[in-house]
Structure 1
Amino acid sequence: MEKPDISSAERLLRQDEYTLEELAALLEMRPYVLESAIYGGELKAQMVGTDIVSIRREDVLAWLRAREG
């Protein structure tokens, strides 16, 4: 997985919503880790059917906090 450059990371940090791919790059995680958390109900996401459309920053932060503790 390719790391985003600094300007891309800064832009991503300011977004309110992310695609699965953007979030995976930002968190340096494989997309399947995020998919597993979403389909398992641990990470909230905007879905259309079984397709992951977007993930809100506030939901990402809540999920990361829950993983820490």
Structure 2
Amino acid sequence: MNQVVRWRKSSYSGGGDGNTCVEIADLDIHIGVRDSKAPDRATLTFTAAAFLPFVHSLKETRH
């Protein structure tokens, strides 16, 4: 059985058509991350435990 993956865009998508961001999806026990401008390219996957520190580190680098 194939899993239906529902990708969600970041709330920081910006103006215009909103495709200059990343998308995330719940993948069973992992979280997928992909570039919204190139959705058919490689996808990063994180465990739930690793995803939160990843997001926090991105927020810290923005400042």
* TM-score grouping bracket, smaller chain normalisation: 0.3 to 0.5
Mark the structure with the bigger radius of gyration. Answer: 2
TM-score (norm: length of structure 2) = 0.34
Higher helix share: 1
Higher strand share: 2
TM-score (norm: length of structure 1) = 0.32
